Structure 1
Amino acid sequence: MANIQCQFYSETLGMSTNIQVMLPQHSALRASRDGKLPVLYLLHGLGADHTEWGRHSSIERLAEEKGIALVMPSVGRSYYTDMKKGAPYFTYLSEELPAVARSLFPLSERREDNFVAGISMGGYGAFKLGLSFPERYAAAASLSGGLDIVSRVNGPNSFLPFEVECIFGNIAELKGSENDLFVLASRLAASQQQPPHLYQCCGTGDFLYQDNLIFRNHAIAVGLTITYEEEPGEHEWGYWERKIKRVLDWLPL
């Protein structure tokens, strides 16, 4: 597995940014994709960065075994949004990052070869991408995701003082906005678009467990198909290490 630390200038963010890219050196999947690799975008949690997955999990070995490329961006504490008082990270993530990554590395552009997954804040980001752009992603996976963002900002949370308004703006307008996954799920279910495969898991001892149940129930109620799993576990890497292996086995490769 080639493990690449890549820094480039982002026109969207107006600054240099970092991604970690892992490319399998021997992948049988390339032969059927004109030399290109299927790719999983792996999103980090709140307070972390692009190195989190490589430092805390066995993702490099697991991806090599599957023959899949990994792209891990860094978005600060943006909660994968176009911040009201900050950088447009969601536009960067959804538009510029895939284009730059494909220009530099042998990554497939086909929907059926593009996937996204994340933990905690990154689980929210993964579902936001998948629900917003179902034509681009074949699968999206949330591990212990902060999926009920309205509940997060109005209840106990890990945001810094004044950070919520910088990210989301007027909190009273957050519910029903483009940052509300419940709205995105309902909109997609009512459309004629093919939804991505959705995978969601959360440990029963996780502080986000109830939020995950609420989102799962909503997704099912509006007509989305979702693979949901729960088991004893908390908000920590021992649990995510087990579940990311499950995600890679679940991906429609």
Structure 2
Amino acid sequence: MALLQCNFVSETLEISASMNVIIPQGEKRRPLKTLYLLHGLSDDHTIWCRRTSIERYADAYGIAVVMPAVNRSFYADMAHGAKYWTFVSEELPRLARSFFPLSDRREDNFAAGLSMGGYGALKLGLSHPDRFAAVASLSGAVDVNRLVAEGFGGDIKNIVGDTNSVVGTSIDLFALAERVADQSGSPLLYQCCGTEDFLYEDNIRFRDHCRKLGLPLTYEEEPGDHEWGYWDLKIQKVLSWLPL
């Protein structure tokens, strides 16, 4: 495996942006199946490599892993900030495929993430079911409605602006799940959360919502908190779960 830090200019963000990329060596299985692996609120593009053995885990599956930096954006086109949703959903895949031998086929593309990144991965899959075969959320911040209602610091105001509700909007995972359920071809969904995690109740609500809609959801829970020991174990489960 090759681990590369890629610095490039993002026209969408109008800044120099960064991503870490894991690429299998050799000529086999190209173009490559690709996992877009997303970081949490307090992290950056280096965190998965620093806190887990993702390079070693990915090697066993011959899969490329793209890990972008999106700051504290919640993978949104921010009300007071940059267009990180446009960046991660449109510009990033296009640029990554121009730099590296990555497949553009739906069946070869996946997304996963932790906390804020779990939200981002589900948002990618539910917003673009034609582009992703499977998406996974680890301890995801899945209920943005609650975060807005409870005034989750300055971050939420920067993301959604001066509003008291985002119910039914394009950043509401519950609404996105309903729209996908009304169509055909939902990506496979994987969701896990530790029972001691502060986001556990949010995850239970989203799990029950997806089950009621009949979406193809695999849900797992066990004792665990919002921490890297748990995510290091669960990203291995995600890789074994992906339809590779």
User: TM-score band (shorter)?
Assistant: over 0.9
* Alignment partner, residue 130 of structure 1: 125
Report the alpha carbon displacement of residue 26 of structure 1 after superposing the two structures with TM: 4.5
Alpha-carbon distance change, 27 to 172 in structure 1, aligned in 2, over 3 angstroms: farther
SS in 1 for 2:55: helix
Report the alpha carbon displacement of residue 65 of structure 1 after superposing the two structures with TM: 1.0
Distance 1:172 1:186 in 2: 21
Report the alpha carbon displacement of residue 170 of structure 1 after superposing the two structures with TM: 2.9
* Alignment partner, residue 187 of structure 1: 179
Alpha-carbon distance change, 27 to 201 in structure 1, aligned in 2, over 3 angstroms: farther
Choose from 59, 67, 77 the match for 2:62. 67
4+ runs deviating over 3 angstroms: none
SS in 2 for 1:194: coil
Q: Does 1:78 align with 2:69?
A: no
Report the alpha carbon displacement of residue 175 of structure 1 after superposing the two structures with TM: 1.5
Unaligned runs of 5+ in 1: none
* Alignment partner, residue 203 of structure 1: 194
* Alignment partner, residue 151 of structure 1: 146
Q: Does 1:25 align with 2:21?
A: no
Q: Does 1:163 align with 2:158?
A: no
Kept after mapping to 2: 8 A contact 1:27/1:68: no
Aligned ranges 1:1-253 → 2 under 5 Å: 1-26=1-26, 28=28, 30=29, 35-155=30-150, 157=152, 159=153, 162-191=154-183, 193-253=184-244
| Cα shift readout 1:65-108 (whole Å, capped 9, x = no counterpart) | 11000000000000000001110000110100000000000100
Kept after mapping to 2: 8 A contact 1:82/1:91: yes
Distance 1:48 1:27 in 2: 33
SS in 2 for 1:211: helix
Q: What percentage of aligned pairs have identical amino acids?
A: 58
Kept after mapping to 2: 8 A contact 1:148/1:180: yes
TM-score normalised by the chain length of structure 2: 0.97
Report the alpha carbon displacement of residue 156 of structure 1 after superposing the two structures with TM: 7.8
Distance 1:173 1:5 in 2: 38
Unaligned runs of 5+ in 2: none
Distance 1:41 1:230 in 2: 23
Distance 1:169 1:40 in 2: 31
Report the alpha carbon displacement of residue 229 of structure 1 after superposing the two structures with TM: 0.2
Distance 2:118 2:104 in 1: 22
Q: Which moved more, 1:170-179 or 1:79-88?
A: 170-179
Q: How large is the Cα RMSD of the aligned pairs?
A: 1.2
Q: Which moved more, 1:17-26 or 1:80-89?
A: 17-26
For 2:25, the aligned partner's letter is Q
| Cα shift readout 1:41-69 (whole Å, capped 9, x = no counterpart) | 00000011000100000100000111000
Kept after mapping to 2: 8 A contact 1:27/1:67: no
| Cα shift readout 1:11-68 (whole Å, capped 9, x = no counterpart) | 111111000001011475x0xxxx2110000000001100010000010000011100
SS in 2 for 1:244: helix
Give the length in aligned residue pairs: 244
Report the alpha carbon displacement of residue 152 of structure 1 after superposing the two structures with TM: 2.2
Distance 1:152 1:216 in 2: 17
